[in-house]
Structure 1
Amino acid sequence: MASWGKLTFAQKQCVSATGKLMQSTGMVSHGARIGIAASGGVDSFLMLKVLTIRQAIMPFPVELMALHINAGFDTASHAPLVDWCASHKLAAHIEVTDYGPRAHSEENRKKSPCFYCSMLRRKRLFELCRDYGLTHLAFGHNADDNVVTFFMNIFQNGRVQGLSVNEPFFDGRLNVIRPTMLLDKKTVIRAAKQWELPVWENTCPSNGRTRRDEIHDWLHQTWQNDNRMKNNVFNAVIRHQLDLTCKKL
């Protein structure tokens, strides 16, 4: 039996779907050094777990490193991540910032708090990738996130665009990847619970009150009694994003 033990159906789905997406898009190659953006939520923690398994399966060596930017609402919330990384012998960079409070202050008068905080955290993650010589930055967005982003861009920006699966930045020095994009949220939550991942609560005062949350709720109300509609939307959006990715490769 493999070192990670016997997997449940949901766990197998996560590992296999992630491997399928990584292989079909040429997401990583020999010697890749992957920074994993770990927020502490269920999506990023599930990605952390799955990538440690995929690392052992890949036919070539890759390195993994967890990157956590604490937004500053609870400066000790990341303790479970520190322990988890230590127990899995996973390198990690943990950093406490004031990005969250700043995003909700007078400093930020033009952008939504979520956008401003996310912008600051993303910039810092890029800096850490540069400083540690990382070749990839992985985000734990899933299929639900992709669909919500797709409709947000249509409604707010007039663009037909979801989340990129594999996209180069800084003249190709860094690739932003989303290995778990094929997974739906229910599968992610189920597998994370079965692995008993130490997910912690998001204490941001804007959590659950953003435009993204509104569109998420609207979509779920639209297809709540029609799984076929939901599946068709998910499949259409992911095919659109994969087609864009393949054209860029």
Structure 2
Amino acid sequence: MSDPNQKSRTQFNKLQKKLRHTVGDAIADYNMIENGDKIMVCLSGGKDSFTLLDILMHLQQTAPVEFELIAVNLDQKQPGFPEHVLPEYLASLGVPYHIIERDTYSVVKRVIPEGSTTCGLCSRLRRGTLYGYAEANNVTKIALGHHRDDILETFFLNIFYGGKLKAMPPKLLSDDKKNIIIRPLAYTREKDIERLAAFKNYPIIPCNLCGSQENLQRQAMKVMLNAWDKQFPGRLETIFASLKNVAPSQLADTQLFDFAGLTRSSQAEEQVMPFIAKDGVYAVNLPGAGSANAGLNILAQ
């Protein structure tokens, strides 16, 4: 009879190795981490940010470059928030950390009418506070825990409700041009993160302390994508691959492709123009762009 504990350890090791490699691939493809970086890992107390910190701490020991990590949590003074959990956990890891105390909860409650969704204002206040801390403490990269499912949900949210082909980039220059945001979990599936979190038994802090309902539109996207994943295995992988393989000449945006200037003598090869988006400068299919060889090879050992 097989040892169930041994089987569980084998499954854990396999899963952990898989996640380390997907994170390593994303970091390499987008050159997310460079020698001498000081990376602020935004820790919310949820499974995603715990997983992100865990994997980055491992990569810090195995990567061919040196970089600093600091875990930062914003205590927004929500009633019932367990203030002791994160400091105790982070101290046990031995990672440098800082808890920012800022009563944004009261601000949101004062401004947003009762019964309305508070997530929009709350996230803006949180972002501003974290960006400010990063700038004041010489942080070179801000690492967020968004994963592949978040990116796909955002993509379809923008299509269905915003009329835009826009997602959530793995690497981003902030609107104020002062911070670079990286999402090392961009290639990682949420269900793999959930499994790892269960194995690791992270001290998860509930995300509903504010009493606000989750964005119903985003929840609808999650339900839709989960249904596709069950009915059509591999579909989500294909959709995500399309975000890395854009053909502007086959769309309709005149800012991305010079349709007006097309003639019979035009070059047949796809000609792509860099374009400005609201959240920064993007370049699609430029020669040499997006190559894993052009980025930092930080794959997990």
TM-score range, shorter chain: 0.7 to 0.9
Closer/same/farther in 2, CA of residues 210 and 96 from structure 1, 3 Å limit: farther
Letter in 1 for 2:45: G
Q: CA deviation at 1:209?
A: 4.9
2:74 aligned with 1:69? yes
Distance 1:24 1:209 in 2: 31
Q: For 1:81-122, what per-residue CA distance to the aligned partner results, in whole angstroms no more than 9, with x for missing partners?
A: 21121112211121233323432x35136x841111001000
Letter in 1 for 2:169: S
Is the Cα–Cα contact under 8 Å of residues 143 and 238 in structure 1 kept in the other structure? no
- Rg (Cα) greater in structure: 2
Q: Which runs of 5+ in 1 are unaligned?
A: none
Distance 1:167 1:9 in 2: 31
Task: Name the TM-score, length of structure 1 as normaliser.
Answer: 0.86
Partner of 2:230: 224
2:195 aligned with 1:190? yes
Letter in 2 for 1:217: V
Bigger mean CA offset, 235-244 vs 198-207: 235-244
Match of 1:44 among 19, 34, 49: 49
Letter in 2 for 1:144: D
Closer/same/farther in 2, CA of residues 82 and 207 from structure 1, 3 Å limit: farther
Q: For 1:12-41, what per-residue CA distance to the aligned partner results, in whole angstroms no more than 9, with x for missing partners?
A: 111111111111211111110001111101
Is the Cα–Cα contact under 8 Å of residues 71 and 117 in structure 1 kept in the other structure? no
Task: Name the TM-score, length of structure 2 as normaliser.
Answer: 0.72
Is the Cα–Cα contact under 8 Å of residues 152 and 212 in structure 1 kept in the other structure? yes
Q: For 1:201-228, what per-residue CA distance to the aligned partner results, in whole angstroms no more than 9, with x for missing partners?
A: 1123124353222222233234432223
Give 1:80-95 correspondences, 5 Å limit.
80-95=85-100
Distance 2:194 2:176 in 1: 36
1:152 is paired with a residue whose SS is helix
Bigger mean CA offset, 90-99 vs 140-149: 90-99
2:214 aligned with 1:208? yes
- Runs (4+) of structure 1 exceeding 4 A deviation are 170-173, 238-245
Is the Cα–Cα contact under 8 Å of residues 117 and 212 in structure 2 kept in the other structure? no
* Cα-Cα RMSD: 2.7
Give 1:134-153 correspondences, 5 Å limit.
134-153=139-158
